[in-house]
Amino acid sequence: MQNVLISPERKIFQHHEFADLAFLLKRKRELGYTISLCIPTLNEELTIGSIVRCLRKALWEDISLLDEILVVDSGSTDRTREEAQAAGAAVFLASEILPELPSATGKGENLWKSLFVAKGNLLCFLDGDIRNIHPRFVYGLIGPLLTSQEIDYVKAFYERPIATTGEYARVGGGRVTEILIRPLFSLFLPELSGILQPLSGEYAARRSLLEKLAFPIGYGVETALLMDIYRMVGMEKIAQTDLDERRHRHQSIFDLGAMSFILLKTFLKRTLPHFSENPLRQFYPDSQGYRLLEIDPPDWERPPMISIEAYQQRSQQGKTSELCSGICVSPVNMNCE
């Protein structure tokens, strides 16, 4: 990567364009930024430890690009929180953040509450089930924010292979994206159909943008954020970075159906003034034939964080504790796999 600031007209990047971490660190210090990595979790004990160890070593201990690594957990029943803490993350239980508010659980809830506990003015979000973690998942996303003041939100895209009989097929992941979200965007918001992975859980943004947005408490959060950011700041403020490939666990067709139901409701709420809110009906085969199950997951939304009184007070008071920083001691070993 050359030490040249990126032209704001370019909005699609490759992660290797930002592999010069010394240059990114210089830009971070010149701009006076702090950077928080936030990972929402629920029962991710198999992957969260390796994710935190890899990124802490490469981007905090070897070079102080990150200022903190936070894990915000929904109440895992496995060892997710213990594994994350042992690997060096600051671990929070979502229910203990802003406990005076009505309780809720879900991915969007964790992301929204991470805004309250994180200290950075640049925030990077990663899912906790990544199996091929590499520092590019972070520097590829924060790089555009550090090198162009014209970009406010950076979305990851990648190939999403799917496991079949113990091996990975190159395509097949991202089923909800291709079957539901891309067709909806193509019909109603054609500019957003150019977002290659609209449901990716890997993205980075400026706090000044995120704090103005409502967050659905569940799986609708990525769809809502993308639609609302597009309407608030336009496509010219949105960038994408190619991170090559992402491997993760895949959900059952019934789980994907429930996810699609939530995403569709999120989309319709932002597109149509009125629509009938009925539960999802799913049929499961069993020994007696088929069993009907009706589900209606909660889909309410948290208001913009900037409207929360405790957040306003925290912002006015400034930082109450000094951030830990890493020490640049050696060249970074980029191979975490």
* Residues 106, 311: Cα–Cα separation, whole Å: 20
Decide the pairing of beta strands 301-302 and 215-216: antiparallel
DSSP character at residue 172: -
Read off φ and ψ for residue 179, nearest 5 degrees: -90, -30
Give strand ranges (E) for the chain. Answer: 12-14, 35-41, 68-73, 90-93, 122-125, 153-159, 162-164, 167-169, 203-206, 215-216, 238-245, 280-286, 289-295, 301-302
Count the Cβ atoms, other than its own, within 10 Å of residue 28.
20
Distances (CA, A) of 311 to 93, 162, 304, 316, 319: 18, 41, 10, 9, 12
Domain covering 13-316: architecture: Alpha-Beta Complex (3.90)
Q: Which pairs from 94-98 meet CB under 8 Å and 24+ separation?
A: 97/72, 98/308, 98/310
Instruction: Give the per-residue pLDDT at 228.
Output: 98
* Residues 73, 128: Cα–Cα separation, whole Å: 10
User: Which string of b and e fits 74-107 if b means at least 16 CB within 10 Å?
Assistant: bebeebbbebbbebebbbbbbeebbeeeeebebb
* Residues 309, 228: Cα–Cα separation, whole Å: 22
CA 151 to chain centroid, in Å, comes to 17
DSSP character at residue 97: S
Burial class (CB in 10 A: 0-12, 13-18, 19+), 144: buried
Distances (CA, A) of 291 to 115, 251, 282: 41, 20, 8
* Opening angle at CA 47, ends 241 and 166, nearest 5: 90
- Report, as ranges of residue numbers, the positions in the chain whose pLDDT lies below 70: 1-10, 162-174, 248-251, 319-337
* Residues 238, 228: Cα–Cα separation, whole Å: 12
Instruction: Give the per-residue pLDDT at 203.
Output: 98
CA 153 to chain centroid, in Å, comes to 11
The pTM is what?
A: 0.86
Instruction: Give the per-residue pLDDT at 335.
Output: 53
The H or E element containing residue 52 is helix 48-56
* Residues 69, 54: Cα–Cα separation, whole Å: 11
Q: Which residues pair with 55 in a beta bridge?
A: none
* Residues 223, 304: Cα–Cα separation, whole Å: 16
Instruction: Give the per-residue pLDDT at 250.
Output: 59
3-state secondary structure of 217: coil
* Residues 10, 246: Cα–Cα separation, whole Å: 24
End-to-end CA gap in the chain: 23
Read off φ and ψ for residue 282, nearest 5 degrees: -125, 145
